[in-house]
Structure 1
Amino acid sequence: MEILILAFFALGYLVLAGADIGVGMALPYLGRSAGERREAIAAIAPFFLGNEVWLVATAGVLAGLFPQLEGELLHGNHTVVVTLLLAWVIRDMGLWLRGRVPGARWQAFWDGAIVAGSWGLALSWGLLLARVLLGIEGPVAVLPALVLAALFLTHGLAFAALRLRGTLRERAAVLSGGAGEVRTYALTSAAMVVVGVLAGLRLPLEPGTSGPVLVPIVLAVTPLLVASQAWVWWTFRHRVTGPSYL
């Protein structure tokens, strides 16, 4: 049961947050002007905070139910984990601050932070997953990390094609040929799941001793998380019609 819980939250994060990371990576391509970039950001605005909850939940499950694995991952990948956290902070700062002060330079600076933070997140996850999947360390690990970062980018474009309209939709739908957007998103989601499952199979998933106490608590809270996520997706199921609050 502990392994299933960890897989549920980790795979949920890759699929859900992988999409908003990918949109941030593709922001210069999707938005050629400040207005277009703001509309592209509106595609992920209702979702990115909820998506991050899945990472927090994954970290909590890892620390509570798999303390030995948590220690091994942090000890062997300290630099990558710190870089990932810094990229996360930079990306979110960009999202929150870009629209707080008027001015093209201010917005362009924080748009750059969104792009840099999103690429930092994707490459950090790519390095971490490459080390787990292939056991590769050092400069050579950049190559599989770039491949996995490309998967994040593709996933983000597929999600943007479902959310945007007009010219932005056409740019995002370049992978699906302007049609089959749901199919493309399903395929990229499946690819994210496959990567996560393969990485999980390489990990020493030995639960700790706190399972009998923590598992019932996690199982009780999980339906609330799923229900809130489903409510957000249903509420914002329609395509973006203009800028958001970001």
Structure 2
Amino acid sequence: MDLPTFWFLAIAFLFVGYFVLEGFDFGVGVLMRTFGRDQAERRLLLNTIGPVWDGNEVWLITAAGSMFAAFPHWYASVFSGFYLPMLLILLALIVRGVAFEFRGKRDDAAWRARWDWAILCGSLLPALLWGLIFANVVRGVPLAADHEYAGGLADLLNPFALLGAATFAAVFVLHGAVFVALKTTGEVRDRANRLAARFGPVAVALLLGFLAWMLVGVRRDPAAIGVGSAAAVAAVAALGANRVRREGWAFAGTAAAIGLTVVALFAALHPALLPSTGDPAGTLTVANAAASAYSLKIMTVVAGVFLPLVLLYQGWTYWVFRKRLSLTR
């Protein structure tokens, strides 16, 4: 395997980790205001993700940094073509992080309510926009021969991308509901389980529709079809596990469905990085967008030293905070 292909796979792995882990805390953030009936329940939901949400965002920072260093042309085209969605994601994540810290600074119901709405919006907006971005990346966007984005905002709001936005948001909410059921006890656990049972079929239907459209109508790739089919099976299995109150298996199912969907996206994309729907010469590929061999070698050495340490630390964090939480009023 050459180094550009290795780093394409490494970036895919980083985005899998990001969406699997950040996906459930996006889901919990959306449920903060809508599922939590009072301040005690909302505090409980916040406590389920409190120790891990900021660590989950490290995956995004590492993925973006890897794109910049390994495929600078890809990074430049994506971040310029999707400038507005990326900016909105950044602002939403900032507001969300501030809200997590500030909502408990004052013992005032109106103060907390405003920050709860900020958490909801700061969780829902990135979920929608990541779906919009990744659907457009795999579908392709208008690129000139010099790889510059040649379209406008309207080009990004196509039906396939809008379905991707709805799918990502719905599956993350399902992932979050299953996580709440996994991490809590008593009435909150029961209600989260029922919510996942009611909302799950909607989320899975959207996921199946998105995968079918991507793998049949956008990119027909045998490997991607196999992985996408596995994602569909995992999503359906998660609903079955949730129905029999096996939250651990249900969470594993939603995590597998999200991870395999991201793998299917990258498999359908390869060897392209950003297909051009305009001038075919504008298509960015693993070969024509890669950094120098020397840069990739340095990156590989650094990743080999530090990535295992990061994985061990994050695994230790999840192990320490693995116990269920109870509601206290």
Tell me whether the two structures share a fold, i.e. TM-score over 0.5: yes
Q: CA deviation at 1:6?
A: 1.3
The answer for the alignment partner of 1:138 in structure 2 is: 157
Is 1:181 aligned with 2:200?
no
Task: Assess if the C-alpha contact under 8 Å between 1:170 and 1:178 holds in 2.
Answer: no
Structure 2 counterparts to residues 149-164 of structure 1, below 5 A? 149-164=169-184
Give the share of equivalent positions with the same residue, in percent: 35
Aligned-partner residue type, residue 162 of structure 1: L
Is 1:114 aligned with 2:119?
yes
Q: CA deviation at 1:180?
A: 1.5
The answer for the alignment partner of 1:59 in structure 2 is: 64
Task: Assess if the C-alpha contact under 8 Å between 1:30 and 1:168 holds in 2.
Answer: no
Task: Assess if the C-alpha contact under 8 Å between 1:18 and 1:155 holds in 2.
Answer: yes
Q: How far apart, CA to CA, are the structure 2 residues paired with 1:179 and 1:16?
A: 21
The answer for the alignment partner of 1:220 in structure 2 is: 305
The answer for the alignment partner of 2:325 in structure 1 is: 240
Distance 1:34 1:178, change over 3 A: farther
Aligned-partner residue type, residue 92 of structure 2: A
Q: CA deviation at 1:15?
A: 0.6
Aligned-partner residue type, residue 190 of structure 1: A
Aligned-partner residue type, residue 2 of structure 1: W
Structure exhibiting the larger radius of gyration computed from Cα positions: 2
Aligned-partner residue type, residue 53 of structure 1: V
Is 1:169 aligned with 2:192?
no
CA deviations 1:2-44 (Å, max 9, x no partner) are 1232122111111111111111012233311011101111000
Q: How far apart, CA to CA, are the structure 2 residues paired with 1:41 and 1:233?
A: 15
Q: CA deviation at 1:242?
A: 5.2
* Aligned length in residues: 243
Q: CA deviation at 1:178?
A: 5.9
Structure 2 counterparts to residues 71-150 of structure 1, below 5 A? 71-135=76-140, 137-138=156-157, 140=159, 141-150=161-170
Distance 1:143 1:6, change over 3 A: closer
Task: Assess if the C-alpha contact under 8 Å between 2:18 and 2:60 holds in 1.
Answer: yes
Q: How far apart, CA to CA, are the structure 1 residues paired with 2:191 and 2:327?
A: 17
2:57 is paired with a residue whose SS is helix
Q: CA deviation at 1:92?
A: 1.1
1:37 is paired with a residue whose SS is helix
CA deviations 1:190-226 (Å, max 9, x no partner) are 1111221122231333432110111100111001100
Gaps of 5+ in 1: none
Aligned-partner residue type, residue 308 of structure 2: P
Is 1:205 aligned with 2:286?
yes
Gaps of 5+ in 2: 1-5, 141-154, 197-241, 274-284
Q: How far apart, CA to CA, are the structure 1 residues paired with 2:164 and 2:16?
A: 19
Distance 1:164 1:15, change over 3 A: same
2:156 is paired with a residue whose SS is coil
Q: How far apart, CA to CA, are the structure 2 residues paired with 1:68 and 1:151?
A: 31
Q: RCO (CA 8 Å, sep 6+): is it higher in 1 or 2?
A: 1
